[in-house]
Amino acid sequence: MKRTKVPSEITGKVWKIEAKPGDKVAEDEPIIILESMKMEIPVSAPVDCTVVEILVAEGDTVAEGQTVAIIES
């Protein structure tokens, strides 16, 4: 199994966490939804995987490039 860090592509606020550790998610399925400039931007799974860890909480501010989740594929 390969572990991968999932980064935020933008600076924004964590609006909603869609997946929790142990969840299996499909490629392009949202793991976290960010809010920036009143737009919702999903942070999606790059591949079919299992979520290992979510590193942010709802309401947190994240920076572009910050790791927000760790997945295993």
The CATH number of the structural domain formed by 3-72 is: 2.40.50.100
Per-residue pLDDT, averaged over 4-19, amounts to 97
Strands 67-72 and 49-54 come out as antiparallel
Per-residue pLDDT, averaged over 19-45, amounts to 97
Residue 1 has pLDDT above 90, yes or no: no
Strands 12-17 and 3-7 come out as unpaired
Percent of the chain with pLDDT over 70: 100
pLDDT mean across residues, the chain = 97
Per-residue pLDDT, averaged over 14-39, amounts to 97
